[in-house]
Amino acid sequence: MANTVQVDTVAEAYLELLAARGIKYFFGNGGTDFAPILEAYAKRFSQEQMLPKPIPVPHEITAVAMAHGYTMVTGKPQVVMVHTIPGTANATSGIINAARSNTPMLFTAGRTPLTEGDESGSRDGGIHWAQESFDQGSMVREWVKWDYELRPDADLEGVVDRALAITQSEPAGPVYLTLPREVLGKKIENFTYSDTPRMAPARDRMPSSDLIEETAKVLASAKNPILITRASGRDPKSVQPLVDLAELLGMPVFESGVAFVNFPQNHPLHAGGDVASHVPEADAIVILESDVPWIPKRTTPREDATIIAIGEDPLYSKYPIRGYRSDLTLAGSPRHTLAALVEAVKKIGVDSGAVKERTAKWAEARKKRFEATDARAEAGKDQTPINKAYFSRELAKHLGDDTILLSELGVDVSQVAFTTSGTTYGIPPAGSLGWAIGAALGAKLAAPEKTVICTLGDGSYIFGSGTSGHIVSEAQNLPVLFIVWNNGIWNAVKSSAKNMNPDGYAAKTDTWALTTLSQSFKYEMICQASGGYGERVEDPAEVPAAIERGLHAVQVEGRQALLNIIGA
């Protein structure tokens, strides 16, 4: 059915349409380009008309990460608007994260006014000349699936519906729409649009039945199959078919990083993250939504092993180089592919004795791994600076189905057995640091009933603009527990230097130029400046009580908290 509404400008029609399409939040970091949007919001507030809720965010890195976090939890894309080229530049790091983790998002920016004359919205500020780019879309074109500038008299509904359909089509990822001020500010009287979007996203694709059958034959006859995943849990509905397939075959599930809950980590066939020594022994290897299943420099599959790649884009066509073998390539929705493989393997039949044996072997390996993990934490119990394994085990005692843990070089997630979808999210594979603070706020916005815990390195905290995050947390009433792992250094940078030159000058003299932060820095005071609870924790004996105090602040007092953990 068509709706016709009275509006004053294109900006107003745009907001009406976004709300009608189910966009709940409009994360904005504005500039002079926002004038028609601000006017439209004011008018519609006064008339109590439907709107995406505007969330002012003082740094673009937080705005993009908030939209990312919200969508990661709900699956529903939101809108971000930033200021012309400077805003796009600041936001790009977050857009790279969204792109590489297949997060849909309508990312938008104003355009500096196009005209120099008397038109409404034309240039009237000193910045309006220097802020113009010949091709603003080129700033992010490599990282978005589609970009377009809204033209005068454009088919607004067609453009927005197309943007939303493309961003959600698999493999999903952000799109970029630029909005010139004259176009947004153009006077119109009525806006007519359809109740339903003009286009549906393309998803739920399936490999052919021939390919399913061929793959099932390989898996059913394999003596030592293994599976490696990183991000199949982006679709929570893929977990059960993965469990079914693993159990049917007695096949261990390794994780090349924990981006989502891919597989219940308390399952006997959960095999942890250390796949290198198992790769050369496997005769069938399933790479399921994993961009880097192993490091080729460190391990190689057997020549006669069959490598099976499953995913929305199993060859990672957006990665410039990636040389992993793929003998059987199954593009499509993992949930459907896995379910079809389960049925096909059942039809063929498996050697149930061998499956039983393999399951028992991997269950035993898992038990030993858990004992070693626990021993690591126990050994670190009294260490100063605070030991990460010990701290993480203490934190794990408070995690469950009602918590969401985010980690960006934060805690040691191997100390936690995540079992339920949506209880943990890890750093996107592109590793553009600065994701966790905003993503945690977005997650809290999406799931206010859950306790959201954001764990991150001190370096990552700085990249994520803590100040901006704390201000949004207070303003939007989004109490999150932030845990800053303050080791006073960019440890990842130091480690990589050490790995490349283990006997070099830096290692011999213990000199790590360009990696130092400050362990004495009082991160807790930044949170306190926004009315939050803040505590510096140096004594390992204080860890359990400090975690309780942080949780009390967010769960009972309803305010954000930050624990500054002085760790190793």
List residues near ligand TPP by CB under 6 A.
93, 409, 431-434, 457-460, 463, 487, 489-493
The three state secondary structure string of 153-216 is CCCHHHHHHHHHHHHHCCCCCEEEEEEEHHHHHCECCEEEEECCCCCCCCCCCCCCHHHHHHHH
Q: Measuring CA to CA, which residue among 437, 444, 503 is closest to residue 469?
A: 437
- What's at 404, amino acid-wise? I
Task: Tell the smallest beta-carbon distance from residue 500 to ligand TPP (Å).
Answer: 14
**DSSP readout, 449-478?**
TSEEEEEEEHHHHHHTTHHHHHHHHHHTT-
The residue (of 82 and 211) whose beta carbon lies closer to ligand TPP is 82
User: What size, in residues, is the chain?
Assistant: 568
Task: Output 256 or 432, the one with its CB closest to ligand TPP.
Answer: 432
Q: Please choose, from the candidates 101, 100, 102, 61, the residue with its C-alpha nearest in 3D space to the C-alpha of residue 80.
A: 61
Please tell me whether residue 490 adopts helix, strand or coil conformation: coil
Nearer to ligand TPP by Cβ, of 99 and 219: the residue is 99
Nearer to ligand TPP, 75 or 431 (CB): 431
Structure-token pair, residue 408: 């960006």
Residue with tokens 């960006």: 408
Q: Of 245 and 489, which has the nearer Cβ to ligand TPP?
A: 489
Beta carbon of residue 433, minimum distance to ligand TPP (angstroms, whole number)? 4
Q: Per 3-state DSSP, what percentage of the chain is helix, strand, and coil (rounded to 5)? A: 40, 20, 40
DSSP, collapsed to helix, strand or coil, labels residue 367 as helix
Cα separation values, 50 from 19, 46, 137, Å: 6, 11, 30
- Does residue 171 have a cis bond before it (omega within 30 degrees)? yes
Distance of closest approach, residue 142 Cβ to ligand TPP, in angstroms = 16
Phi, then psi, of 370 in degrees rounded to 5: -65, -40
* Residues in CB range of 281: below 8 A, 6 or more apart: 224, 302
DSSP string of 381-410, one letter each residue: TT-SSBPHHHHHHHHHTT-STTEEEEEES-
Instruction: For ligand TPP, give the closer residue by CB, 366 or 388.
Output: 388
169/487 with CB nearer ligand TPP: 487
Nearer of residues 44 and 376 to ligand TPP, judged by Cβ: 376
Closest CB to ligand TPP among residues 493, 545? 493
Q: How does strand 25-29 pair with strand 53-56?
A: parallel
Query: Residue written as tokens 């339920």?
Result: 420
Nearest distance in Å: CB 49, ligand TPP: 39
Q: Nearest distance from residue 292's CB to ligand TPP, in Å?
A: 15
Q: Residue 94 CB, nearest distance to ligand TPP (Å)?
A: 10
Tokens of 563: 């624990």
Say if residues 81 and 37 touch (Cβ distance below 8 Å): yes
Residue 385 preceded by cis peptide, ω within 30: yes
Partners of residue 109 on adjacent β-strands: 82, 178
Q: Cβ of residue 422: shortest distance to ligand TPP, in angstroms?
A: 24
Q: In the bound complex, what is the minimum distance in angstroms from residue 461's beta carbon to ligand TPP?
A: 7
Query: 84 or 491: whose CB is closer to ligand TPP?
Result: 491
Residue nearest to ligand TPP (CB): 457
d(CA 65, CA 378): 35
Q: Tell me, what amino acid is at 401?
A: D
Q: Is 194 helix (H, G, I), strand (E, B) or coil?
A: strand
Query: CB 98 → ligand TPP: shortest distance, Å?
Result: 14
Q: How far is the CB of 460 from ligand TPP (least distance, A)?
A: 3
> How far are the Cα atoms of 23, 103, 171, 264, 397 from residue 78, in angstroms, in the given order?
6, 10, 17, 29, 33
Comparing CB distances to ligand TPP, the nearer of 97 and 333 is: 97
Considering beta carbons, is residue 370 or 512 the nearer one to ligand TPP? 512
Residue 233 and residue 260 in contact, taking contact as beta carbons nearer than 8 Å: yes
| Cβ closest to ligand TPP, residue 467 vs residue 555 | 467
Nearer to ligand TPP (CB atom), residue 126 or residue 320 = 320
The span from the CA of 172 to the CA of 18, in Å, is 19
For the bound state, the minimum distance from the C-beta of residue 459 to ligand TPP, rounded and expressed in Å, comes to: 2
What SS3 string covers 256-324?
Answer: CCCCCCCCCCCCCCECCCCCCCCHHHCCEEEEECCCCCCCCCCCCCCCCCEEEEEECCCCCCCCCCCCC
- State in angstroms the smallest separation of the CB of 205 from ligand TPP: 32
